[in-house]
């Protein structure tokens, strides 16, 4: 991952992205840290180095009189590289300054080399030493050198003994990239603990770690916690519902979707498809059909044979056979699908709409259904119950040619003959 240039620039000029520093230990230990700070030597640059640095700093500001319309970082770097300091402090100060300028110019490998050199000399003032250690960590993270970033942050922590929510978040990110998921959770928790203002990143990293390890119960826990902190952010609600679905807690999954829908957080076709599916899984298929149909009518869900078939199936589950048959018929017409025509015919038959059933079955045959014998038997029933005994008899004879339908067809042939005879109908 590449860091935002704005965040990096803020660090280069001495600010932290969102640093909240909290002493790690109690008063006695804090006093020990203060003693360490006071004991650290405070040095100044030699006169020669100081003058050169001042000249370099001048180049970092536009000067129209000198014909410099913008900051000349490259010129400043070149000027500083001319120096060959002898004092350790001068070496460290120049290295960190040149490193920052390289980073500002996007030359991160060179920046890391210089900043690391300055940090290893360990002679800068307390604040500057802490700063170069943190910058070294950020630059390594910027360049996707995750273990190096973690190592630098660990050195920073050992040096400062301070808790920083952003540092823990960055470490969690690095551990995530290294697939060390236990450490991701540990550092994300520390980031959440020490943040003075809640941030979403550690929750996201912790959730991702649980998902990658298929720990969906853990994912539910962290997502629920995130919703309590960020209730108006819609990005947490759908994952929570999906995690409940993955753990087969269909009631909670549906409840979560309902709350998300009430708040206007459902916006995609996939959201409503899952929402409808959950109603069906919770024994409310009619509601599932209504949701799907509404979103098809609005254009959010595509009106195609697959989606119409899904709606028809929900109506079928709800035992609304007329709507199920009509919807299957609409789906069949879109692709001239013989199987869908047959399903429509079957359901029209159950609904006792035999004329519609006959038309649907014939369309199935005309579109090349491979279930001709089965459809012939269905046509026998549909024609019989509409009093069209001659047509019923014809399809019964056709069905009798099939080994699978032969026995049933013969039974119908006998029954049709007897019925036609009683009613004086010629076959």
pLDDT at 333: 97
The verdict on residue 104 lying in a domain is no
The pLDDT of residue 50 is: 84
Last residue of a domain, one of 289, 324, 353: 353
In the prediction, which pLDDT does 101 show?
93
- Pairwise pLDDT comparison (12 vs 302), residue with the higher score: 302
Q: How far apart are CA 8 and CA 384, in angstroms?
A: 81
pLDDT, one tens digit per residue, over 85-94 is 889 999 999 9
- Co-location of 332 and 380 in the same domain: no
Burial (CB count within 10 angstroms: exposed 0-12, middle 13-18, buried 19+), residue 4: exposed
Per DSSP, the chain holds a count of helices (H) and strands (E) of 23, 2
**How many residues does the structure list for the chain?**
427
Within a domain: 171? no
- Say which residue, 77 or 373, is predicted with more confidence: 373
Instruction: Answer yes or no: is 23 within a domain.
Output: no
Range(s) of the domain holding residue 276: 268-353
What tokens appear for 423 in the block? 């009613």
Number of neighbouring beta carbons within 10 Å of residue 106: 11
Decide if pLDDT at 30 tops 80: no
**pLDDT, position 292:** 98
pLDDT of residue 2: 45
- Residue range 113-123: mean pLDDT, rounded: 96
| pLDDT above 50 for 110 | yes
Which of 319, 317, 322, 369 minimizes the C-alpha distance to 341? 369
Place of tokens 């660090």: 11
- Mean pLDDT over all residues of the chain? 90
Q: What are phi and psi of 23, to 5 degrees?
A: -55, 140
pLDDT above 70: residue 381: yes
With a cut of 70, say whether residue 80 has pLDDT above it.
yes
User: Measuring CA to CA, which residue among 332, 284, 288 is closest to residue 308?
Assistant: 332
In a domain, 197, yes or no: no
272-316, pLDDT tens digit by residue? Answer: 999 999 999 999 999 999 999 999 999 999 999 999 999 999 999
Does 422 have pLDDT greater than 50? yes
Closest to 399 in 3D by CA, of 426, 420, 380: 380
Shortest CA distance to 150 belongs to which of 163, 134, 161? 134
Among candidate residues 325, 300, 305, the one with its CA nearest the CA of residue 315? 325
Query: What distance in Å separates the CA atoms of residue 355 and residue 108, rounded to the nearest whole number?
Result: 77
Q: Is the pLDDT of residue 23 over 50?
A: no
Choosing from 306, 326, 353, the residue where a domain stops is 353
Q: What is the pLDDT of residue 11?
A: 43
Shared domain check, 349 and 283: yes
Point out the domain boundary residue: 353, 383, 405: 353
pLDDT at 21: 37
67: pLDDT strictly greater than 90: no
> In the chain, how many domains are there?
2
- Is 3's pLDDT higher than 90? no
Structure tokens that stand for 99 in this block:
């490193």
Evaluate if residue 60 carries a pLDDT over 80.
no
Q: Does the pTM exceed 0.75?
A: yes
> Pairing mode, if any, of strands 21-23 and 162-164?
antiparallel
CATH number, residue 285: 1.25.40.10
What is the pLDDT, as a whole number, of residue 363?
97
Q: Are 135 and 124 in contact (CB under 8 A)?
A: no
Among residues 360, 362, 365, the alpha carbon closest in space to that of 350 is found at 360
C-alpha angle 232-235-240 in degrees, rounded to nearest 5: 100
pLDDT confidence tier of residue 122, bands split at 50, 70 and 90: very high
Q: Are residues 312 and 339 in the same domain?
A: yes
Give the pLDDT of residue 410: 94
In a domain, 1, yes or no: no
DSSP 2: -
**8 A C-beta contact, residue 11 and residue 134:** yes
**What are the start-end ranges of the H helices in 87-200?**
88-104, 108-121, 126-142, 146-160, 165-177, 181-194
In a domain? residue 199: no
Residue 69: pLDDT band with limits 50, 70, 90: low
Calpha distance 328→323 (Å, rounded): 8
Q: pLDDT digit string (tens) for 155-200?
A: 999 999 999 999 999 999 999 999 999 999 999 999 999 999 999 9
Could you tell me how far CA 163 lies from the centroid of its own chain? 30
In a domain? residue 282:
yes
Q: E strand or H helix at 229, and its extent?
A: helix 216-229
Using pLDDT thresholds of 50, 70 and 90, give the confidence band for residue 63: low
In a domain, 162, yes or no: no
């Amino acid at each position: 991952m590449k860091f935002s240039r704005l965040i990096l620039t803020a660090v280069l000029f001495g600010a932290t992205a969102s640093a909240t520093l909290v002493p790690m230990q109690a008063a006695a230990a804090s006093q020990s840290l203060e003693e360490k700070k006071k004991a650290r030597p405070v040095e100044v640059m030699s006169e020669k180095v100081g003058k050169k640095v001042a000249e370099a700093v001048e180049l970092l500001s536009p000067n129209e009189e000198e014909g410099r319309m913008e900051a000349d970082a490259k010129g400043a770097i070149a000027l500083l590289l001319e120096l060959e300091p002898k004092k350790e402090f001068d070496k460290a100060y120049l290295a960190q300054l040149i490193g920052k300028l390289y980073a500002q110019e996007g030359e991160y490998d060179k920046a890391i080399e210089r900043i690391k050199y300055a940090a290893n000399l360990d002679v800068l003032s307390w604040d500057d030493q802490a700063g170069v250690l943190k910058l070294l960590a950020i630059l390594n993270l910027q360049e996707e050198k995750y273990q190096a970033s973690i190592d630098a942050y660990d050195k920073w922590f050992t040096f400062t003994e301070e808790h920083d929510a952003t540092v823990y978040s960055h470490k969690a990110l690095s551990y995530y990239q290294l697939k060390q998921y236990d450490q991701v959770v540990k550092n994300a928790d520390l980031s959440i603990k020490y943040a003075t203002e809640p941030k979403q990143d550690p929750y996201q990293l912790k959730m991702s770690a649980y998902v990658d390890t298929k720990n969906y119960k853990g994912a539910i826990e962290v997502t629920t916690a995130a919703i309590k902190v960020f209730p108006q952010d819609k990005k947490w609600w759908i994952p929570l519902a999906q995690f409940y679905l993955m753990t087969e807690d269909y009631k909670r999954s549906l409840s979560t979707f309902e709350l998300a829908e009430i708040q206007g957080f459902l916006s995609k076709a996939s959201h409503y498809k899952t929402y409808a599916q959950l109603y069906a899984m919770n024994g409310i298929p009619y509601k599932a059909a209504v949701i799907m149909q509404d979103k098809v009518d609005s254009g959010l869900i595509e009106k195609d044979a697959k989606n119409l078939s899904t709606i028809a199936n929900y109506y079928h589950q709800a035992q609304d056979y007329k709507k199920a048959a009509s919807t299957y018929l609409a789906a069949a017409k879109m692709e001239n699908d013989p199987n869908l025509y047959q399903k429509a015919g079957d359901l029209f038959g159950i609904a006792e709409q035999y004329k519609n059933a006959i038309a649907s079955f014939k369309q199935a045959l005309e579109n090349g259904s491979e279930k001709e014998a089965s459809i012939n038997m269905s046509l026998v029933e549909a024609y019989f119950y509409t009093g069209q005994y001659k047509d019923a008899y014809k399809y019964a004879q056709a069905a009798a040619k099939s080994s699978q339908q032969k026995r049933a067809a013969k039974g119908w042939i006998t029954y049709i003959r007897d019925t036609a005879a009683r009613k004086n109908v010629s076959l």
